[in-house]
Amino acid sequence: MTDTEIFEPDGRGIPYVDEGNGPAVVLIPDRGLNTSYLGTLAHMLTEADHRIVRVGTRRAAAASMHDLAQDVVDLMDHLQLEHAWIGGHGFGGSVARTVALDHTDRVNGVLLLGVEATADRPRDGDIPDTLRDPDVEPGQRAAQAATPDAEWTGLAPLVPVLVIHGTEDSVFPPANGDALQTAAPDRVSVVPIEGGGHLFPATHAGPTAWAIEDYLDWD
């Protein structure tokens, strides 16, 4: 098991897990969750000879989604990652989209595990406490509220996007991903995970990893 490390530029305290070698993918967890539930997915992708960096949310308050995006880029600099696929689950995907909009030259593509269309969404009460990180959720909500929706729901020009969503996800309905594809059919690809609910990146890690590998032609 790879340990979580803390990157502390200016006291921001950004947790991360860096594992594997090869082309890099950054994975950011959903709002109020820690990086542990993405561990199985990360392991499967590293087994395919790729480097996976799971990035949590800073402990210090962020003024906006742009600050959280900057945290990702600062960590990439720290890890000497010139560019990567930037992805995330739900809220993490919204941070990934912000990274792509603010730092397009650092992003090979955007991976959205469930598409967050609005900050006001239903809460999943079935998530185990071991996966939660309640200390960061207020700051995440505040950063989102302080940022115009278009600045974290938009798509960066020319950047490819892979959407993977669970067919039974009630928090991020598949219609969200379908709408994104309709808006940019030339750049957005959608892969459904049959039977997957809100936590499909953990409960259906195998099909999710295979979808990523197949799209990126890593096998």
Mean pLDDT of 115-132: 78
Tell me what the pLDDT averaged over the chain comes to: 93
HEC states along the chain? CCCCEEECHHHCCEEEEEECCCCEEEEECCCCECCHHHHHHHHHHHHCCCEEEEECCCCCCCCCHHHHHHHHHHHHHHCCCCCEEEEEECHHHHHHHHHHHHCHHHEEEEEEECCCCCCCCCCCCCCCHHHECCCCHHHHHHHHHCCCCHHHHCCCCCCCEEEEEECCCCCCCHHHHHHHHHHCCCCEEEEEECCCCCCHHHHCHHHHHHHHHHHHCCC
Confirm if 74 and 53 have CB atoms less than 8 A apart. Answer: no
Q: How many distinct structural domains can be found in the chain?
A: 1
Is residue 71 within 8 Å of 130, Cβ to Cβ? no
How confident is the model over 130-136, as a mean pLDDT?
Answer: 85
Give the range of the structural domain holding residue 174, as residue numbers without chain letter.
5-216
> Residue range 193-217: average pLDDT?
96
- Judge whether residue 117 has pLDDT over 60: yes
Q: What pLDDT is attached to residue 122?
A: 66
pLDDT greater than 80 at residue 120? no
Four-CA torsion 216, 155, 26, 134, nearest 10 degrees? -140
pLDDT for res 124 = 62
Lowest-confidence range among 82-86, 128-132, 142-146? 128-132
Q: Could you tell me how far CA 211 lies from the centroid of its own chain?
A: 15
Is the pLDDT assigned to residue 1 strictly greater than 80?
no
Give residue 134's pLDDT: 84
Mean pLDDT of 16-42: 96
- Of 14-28, 136-150, 177-191, the one with minimum mean pLDDT is 136-150
Q: What is the pLDDT of residue 6?
A: 96
pLDDT for 215 beyond 80: yes
Q: Cβ contacts of residue 206 below 8 Å, gap of 6+?
A: 44
Which range is least confidently modeled, 48-57, 92-101, 114-123, 205-214? 114-123
Q: How far apart are CA 41 and CA 58, in angstroms?
A: 22
110, 85 contact by CB (below 8 A) = yes
Q: Is the pLDDT of residue 163 over 90?
A: yes
The β-bridge partners of 18 are 53
pLDDT digits (tens, 9 = 90+) for 94-108: 999 999 999 999 999
What pLDDT is recorded for position 219? 45
Q: The domain that contains 63 carries what CATH number?
A: 3.40.50.1820
